[in-house]
């Protein structure tokens, strides 16, 4: 039998009439579970002194590295990399403004800045600060982090500012004054939660609200849409059944659309017409991606079968999918990444085996989509549709991003990051590993030129879940702390991700999730078989679901790698569904209460597959106490189990940081320096 920790969270809402004292406190009561064939006992655990002791030992060991590449030097390099990355942040395009969140020193808590959109396009933006989080924190003695700013007009307001407490998912929304850069007293104010806020008009909000347990799903998402005016009057516009996961409300080309999450992937859609939400009879497995003229653009997906997706046009008044028009049929290995709609054109961003294609169709979708741009091993993102054209952000594994203005006939560069690696000093390669069932598993590899074709310290980054795809994006911190010091960086596109569309995700979902773990082991084997690394020079890194996959692979095949970095991982698949966001993930993993599905989960659940007589690689495990997505009990349970067996486990538990563990610039720098100091010392020790 295995003892592990599970945290039972209770949410207590405390709110006075003055919004500054309005907060949500998450109280964790820790339990010990004895797990055999059935869960039977729970005993409260009070002594967690071992957590602090293990964290202290980790910092003593890797906080001051004894190598020439010391912790201090890594930390300094991380600062340089983070500032370089922050110089070219992602933009938020508004009707007349373009905005960004600036984390450059000394504003490492973040400041939200905006400029006139036309001035930015011309290359002469005059940035002005709308929100300075550090100033708000000093004024109110808080630890807020910026979440969002929603303004009717970014010059004069009105605005709603959203902040989180130390990086949690719960957002506190309240009225905000642009002229004073401060909260507006006697304005709108919402109890913190996973809320969503939209303006209906200058005096009315649309709110997906988690203010009461009755209208909050078991996974903590809102299940009720309300209209709230400045006088505090509330009108419920829609609510979902208790078995729903939650929902969102969105403006889509001027039309108001309510989305109900049947589960993590299936959706129901409702269109606001004649003062009420009318159901749109789309298949639940379809994804609404845009409004075009007198119809809707849907990505038709099969949630059960391994088949390619298609983009269809569902005209208003159509009763069933048989009456729709096909816009684009994806091939077996194509993925529809994004679409963008103008008044006369539809742009499609399609990825085929890491080749990006931008297509356009017009003539009311009567013409065949034609390719207007292509790129290999680049990551593109459609940022915005503006009057002048389509704004596209491009990235590669060797360079910082650039931003382009693209129309159907031309492309013009708007801006470019100053961060660039020497392209002559590195080689980028797309390779394939043969999986246990014969499938080809792609992996992207960046190698210093002097190590091409030779063995080198190699870090394999993995996620492999929820249809999330590997992107060919440069990571400035990894470049500075790993690549520039001679390491090889690998991105494993294992099944469960979305690299080849829905079927690739389905091939690593639920009863097939065990295959995802095997795929990662196969990538490690491919690297060693090719002589590009060795078991003593290999490491995995994964966060959240990626942490689950990395942990399971390391426990299944412990002699394949020497080091593993896990960030907020799931490790107990028998109990993951009992707390926080866990209930919403059963469609991805399975339900351990059902015997057949319990057997799937037991095949790879990390904490249930640890063997007392086995030797495991060195593991660095990072977690935050206020993570309100993945219960910290997953990290504590794995650390406790491995430590009790005398295995090389290093644990860093932080009080704050949420699911990302590090939120501020200082926190990110400290985390990354710790991670790469652990990797270098561990892998060089093993040589």
Do residues 206 and 71 share a domain? no
pLDDT confidence of residue 18? 29
Q: Please indicate, yes or no, if residue 546 is contained in any of the structural domains.
A: yes
Domain with 255, as residue range(s), is 196-280
Gap between the Cα atoms of 187 and 229, Å rounded? 10
CA distance 582 to 559: 31
Question: Residue 394 domain-assigned?
Answer: no
**pLDDT digits over 57-107, tens only?**
888 888 754 444 567 777 788 788 777 777 778 899 987 899 998 877 677
Average pLDDT over residues 650-668: 87
Contacts of 180 (CB under 8 A, 6+ apart): none
| Number of domains the chain is built from | 2
- Contact, 532 vs 455, CB < 8 A? yes
Answer yes or no: do 496 and 639 share one domain: yes
Whole-angstrom Cα distance, residue 313 to residue 321? Answer: 9
Q: Any idea which of 83-92, 124-133, 338-347 has the lowest mean pLDDT?
A: 83-92
Which has the closest alpha carbon to 356: 345, 341, 340, 372? Answer: 372
Last residue of a domain, one of 265, 280, 295: 280
Task: Mention every residue, 6+ apart, whose C-beta is less than 8 A from residue 677.
Answer: 62, 63, 65, 69, 70, 71, 74
Q: What are the φ/ψ torsions at residue 613 (nearest 5 degrees)?
A: -100, 15
pLDDT exceeds 80 at position 44: no
541: left (phi over 0), alpha (psi -120 to 50) or beta: beta
| pLDDT at 374 (0 to 100) | 93
For residue 89, which of 137, 163, 146, 135 has the smallest C-alpha distance? 146
User: What's 42-91 look like in SS3?
Assistant: EEECCCCHHHHHHHHHHHHHHCCCCCCCCHHHHHHHHHHHHHHHHCCCCE
Q: What is the pLDDT of residue 68?
A: 43
Confidence of residue 20 (pLDDT cuts 50, 70, 90): very low
Task: Give per-residue pLDDT as tens, 502-551.
Answer: 889 999 999 999 999 999 999 999 999 999 999 999 999 999 999 999 99
Region of 582 (left: φ > 0; alpha: ψ -120 to 50; beta: rest) is alpha
Listed range (14-23, 243-252, 669-678) with the worst mean pLDDT:
14-23
User: b vs e for 258-269, b when ≥16 Cβ sit within 10 Å of the residue's Cβ?
Assistant: bbbbbbbbbbbb
Dihedral Cα 183, 189, 192, 197, nearest 10 deg: -100
CA distance 571 to 96: 46
Lowest-pLDDT range of 18-32, 112-126, 180-194: 18-32
Q: Determine, yes or no, domain membership for 401.
A: no
The answer to whether residue 116 sits within a structural domain is: no
- pLDDT in the model for residue 320: 75
The residues with which 446 forms a beta bridge, in sequence order, are 428, 489
pLDDT class of 35 with cuts at 50, 70, 90: very low
Stronger pLDDT, 410 or 458, i.e. the higher one: 458
**Within its chain, how far is the Cα of 60 from the centroid?**
31
Among the listed ranges 8-12, 164-168, 278-282, 662-666, which one has the minimum average pLDDT value? 8-12
pLDDT at 251 over 60: yes
Whether the pLDDT of residue 647 is over 60: the answer is yes
pLDDT of residue 525: 98
Whether residues 202 and 74 share a domain: the answer is no
CA–CA distance, 311 with 300 (Å, rounded to integer):
6
Residues 476 and 605 placed together within one structural domain of the fold: yes
On the CB side of 612, how many CA atoms lie within 13 Å of its CA? 3
Q: Would residue 96 count as lying in a domain?
A: no
- As a whole number of angstroms, the distance between CA 226 and CA 54 comes to 47
What pLDDT does 90 receive? Answer: 85
Domain boundary among 233, 263, 280: 280
Is a pLDDT exceeding 50 seen at residue 26? no
Q: What's the pLDDT tens digit per position in 418-447?
A: 888 888 999 999 999 999 999 999 999 999
Q: What was the pLDDT predicted at 3?
A: 31
For residue 469, CA distances in Å to 42, 379, 466, 501, 587 come to: 39, 11, 9, 9, 18
Is residue 53 included in any domain, yes or no? yes
What is the distance between the alpha carbons of residues 343 and 229, in angstroms, rounded to a whole number? Answer: 33
The whole model's pTM is what?
0.88
Cβ–Cβ < 8 Å for 300, 283: yes
Cα dist. 54→61, 171, 621, 644, 679 in Å? 11, 32, 11, 12, 18
Q: What is the CATH number of the domain that holds 452?
A: 3.40.50.1820
Number of separate helices (H) and strands (E) present in the chain: 12, 39
Percent of the chain with pLDDT over 70: 89
Q: Is residue 570 part of a domain?
A: yes
Separation CA 581–CA 568 (nearest Å): 13
Q: Is residue 596 part of a domain?
A: yes
Q: Which of 264, 201, 194 is nearest to 223 (CA)?
A: 194
Mean pLDDT value across the chain: 85
Cα(534)–Cα(563) distance, integer angstroms: 12
CA 484 to chain centre: 26
49 has pLDDT over 90: no
Same domain, 202 and 76: no
* Mean of pLDDT values over 663-675: 86
* Structural domain ending residue among the three candidates 238, 254, 280: 280
Distance of CA 305 to the CA centre of its chain: 25
In terms of average pLDDT, the best of 54-58, 208-212, 538-542 is 538-542
pLDDT tens for 279-328 read 998 888 888 988 888 889 998 765 445 456 788 888 888 877 777 888 88
**Cβ pair 197, 206 in contact under 8 A:** yes
């Amino acid at each position: 039998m295995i003892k592990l920790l599970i945290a039972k969270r209770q949410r207590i809402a405390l709110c006075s009439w003055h919004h500054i004292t309005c907060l949500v406190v998450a109280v964790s009561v820790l339990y010990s579970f004895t797990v055999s064939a059935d869960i039977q006992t729970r005993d409260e655990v009070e002594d967690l002194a071992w957590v602090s002791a293990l964290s202290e030992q980790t910092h003593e060991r890797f906080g001051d590295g004894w190598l020439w590449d010391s912790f201090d030097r890594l930390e300094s390099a991380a600062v340089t990399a983070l500032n370089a990355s922050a110089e070219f942040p992602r933009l938020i395009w508004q009707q007349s403004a373009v905005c960004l969140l600036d984390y450059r020193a000394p504003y490492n808590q973040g400041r939200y800045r905006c400029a006139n959109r036309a001035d930015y396009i011309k290359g002469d933006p005059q940035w002005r600060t709308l929100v300075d989080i550090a100033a708000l924190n000093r004024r109110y003695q808080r630890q807020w982090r910026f979440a969002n700013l929603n303004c009717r007009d970014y010059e004069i307001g009105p605005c709603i500012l959203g902040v989180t407490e130390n990086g949690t998912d719960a957002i506190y929304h309240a009225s905000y004054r642009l002229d004073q850069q401060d909260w507006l007293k006697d304005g709108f104010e919402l109890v913190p939660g996973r809320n969503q806020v939209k303006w209906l008009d200058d005096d009315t909000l649309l709110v997906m609200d988690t203010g009461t347990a009755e209208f909050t799903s078991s996974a903590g998402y809102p299940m009720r849409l309300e209209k709230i005016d400045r006088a505090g009057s509330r009108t419920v516009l829609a609510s979902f059944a208790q078995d729903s996961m939650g929902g969102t409300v969105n403006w889509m080309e001027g039309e108001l659309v309510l989305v109900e999450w049947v589960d993590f992937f299936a959706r129901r859609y409702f269109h606001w017409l004649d003062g009420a939400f009318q159901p749109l009879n789309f298949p639940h497995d379809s994804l609404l991606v845009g409004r075009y003229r007198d119809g809707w653009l849907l990505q038709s997906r099969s949630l059960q079968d391994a088949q390619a997706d298609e983009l269809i046009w569902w005209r208003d008044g159509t009763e069933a999918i048989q009456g729709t028009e096909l816009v684009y049929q994806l091939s077996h290995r194509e993925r529809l990444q994004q679409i963008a709609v103008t008044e006369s054109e539809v742009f499609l961003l399609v990825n085929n085996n890491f080749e990006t294609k931008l297509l356009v169709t017009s003539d009311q979708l009567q013409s065949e989509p034609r390719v207007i741009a292509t790129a290999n091993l680049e990551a593109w993102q459609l940022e915005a549709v503006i009057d002048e054209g389509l704004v596209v952000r491009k990235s590669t594994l060797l360079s910082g991003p650039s931003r382009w203005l693209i129309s159907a006939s031309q492309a013009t560069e708007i801006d470019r990051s100053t961060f660039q690696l020497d392209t002559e000093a590195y080689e980028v390669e797309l390779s394939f590993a043969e999986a246990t069932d014969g499938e080809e598993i792609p992996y992207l590899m960046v190698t210093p030129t002097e190590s091409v074709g030779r063995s080198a310290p190699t870090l394999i980054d993995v996620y492999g879940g929820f249809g999330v795809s590997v992107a060919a994006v440069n990571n400035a911190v990894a470049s500075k702390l790993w690549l520039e010091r001679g390491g090889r960086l690998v991105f494993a596109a294992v099944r469960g991700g979305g690299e080849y569309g829905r079927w690739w995700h389905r091939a690593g979902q639920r009863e097939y999730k065990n295959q995802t773990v095997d795929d990662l082991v196969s990538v490690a084997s491919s690297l060693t078989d090719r002589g590009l690394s060795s078991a003593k020079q290999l490491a995995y890194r994964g966060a959240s679901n990626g942490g689950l996959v990395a942990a399971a692979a390391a426990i299944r095949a412990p002699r394949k790698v020497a080091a593993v970095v896990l960030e907020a991982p799931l490790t107990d698949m028998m109990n993951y569904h009992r707390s926080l966001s866990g209930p919403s993930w059963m469609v991805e993993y399975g339900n351990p209460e059902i015997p057949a599905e319990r057997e799937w989960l037991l095949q790879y659940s990390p904490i249930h597959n640890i063997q007392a007589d086995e030797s495991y690689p060195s593991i660095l495990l990072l977690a935050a106490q206020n993570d309100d997505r993945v219960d910290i009990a997953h990290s504590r349970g794995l650390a406790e189990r491995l430590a009790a067996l005398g295995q090389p486990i290093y644990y860093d538990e932080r009080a704050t940081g949420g699911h990302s563990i590090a939120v501020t610039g200082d926190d990110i720098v400290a985390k990354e320096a710790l991670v790469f100091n652990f990797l270098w010392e561990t892998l060089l020790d093993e040589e």
